[in-house]
Chain A
Amino acid sequence: MGRTPTPGEPVAAGDPFSSADRVVLDETIRRAEQLARVEFSVFVGNAEGEPRPFAEGLHASLVAPARSILVLVDPTKRLVEVVTGSHVRRTLSDNEVELAVAAMQSDFAAEDLVGGLRRGIHMLAEHARAPQTLHAGPGLAT
Chain B
Amino acid sequence: MISAVIPWDVPVGWSPDPEDVDKVQAVLLLGGVPLLLFVGITLAVYVPSLVRGERIAPGAPAVENQWLGGPRTPAGELSGPGAGADGPDPDSGGASGRW
Tell me if B's interface is mostly helix, strand, loop or mixed. loop
**Which residues in chain A, 17-47, are within 8 Å of chain B measured between CB atoms?**
17, 22, 25-26, 29-30, 33, 39-46
Asked if B93 contacts A94 (CB within 8 A), the reply is yes
Set B60, B67, B81, B87: member contacting A57, Cβ < 8 A: B81
Asked if A101 contacts B81 (CB within 8 A), the reply is no
Set B61, B68, B79, B93: member contacting A58, Cβ < 8 A: B79
Asked if A44 contacts B68 (CB within 8 A), the reply is yes
**Total count of chain B residues near the partner, CB < 8 A:** 40
**Total count of chain A residues near the partner, CB < 8 A:** 65
A residues whose Cβ falls under 8 Å from a Cβ of B: 1, 12-17, 22, 25-26, 29-30, 33, 39-46, 48, 51-52, 54-66, 70, 74-86, 89, 93-94, 97-98, 100-102, 104-106, 108-109, 117
B residues whose Cβ falls under 8 Å from a Cβ of A: 49, 52-55, 60-71, 75, 78-99
